Amino acid sequence: MAKEKKGNWIKDAIKNPGALHKEMGIPEGRKIPADKLKKASKKKGLEGARARLAETLKGFHNKKGK
C-alpha cells in the first residue's frame, strides 16, 4: 500500500474548479450567496458534496488582522 501524503486533501478534492458555480447557474466571478449554498449542501450527489466542501473551505478563510 502506497504511503499517502497528509495535508493535500484540499488539492485532491478540488479537481474541477468552477463546477459548483456552473451547476448552480452563478457566474464564476460572483460569490455564491450563503443561503443558496446552504440549500445546495442539503442535496444529494455531486452538487451537494461540492456545496458541503465549499462551506468547509469557507471556514478556513484567514481574516486580516488575526
User: Which three cell numbers mark 44?
Assistant: 444529494
Distance, CA of 48 to CA of 45 (rounded, Å) = 6
pLDDT at 5 over 70: no
Q: With a threshold of 0.95, does the pTM exceed it?
A: no
- Position 25 scores a pLDDT of 94
- Position 2 scores a pLDDT of 58
- Position 58 scores a pLDDT of 86
pLDDT tens-digit map of 6-64: 667 788 788 888 999 999 999 999 999 999 999 999 999 999 999 999 999 888 877 67
Phi, psi of 30 (to 5 degrees): -100, 155
Domain ranges of the chain: 33-61
Rounded (5°) CA angle 25-26-28:
125
Helix (H) / strand (E) element for 19: namely: helix 19-24
Q: Which of 47, 26, 51 is nearest to 38 (CA)?
A: 51
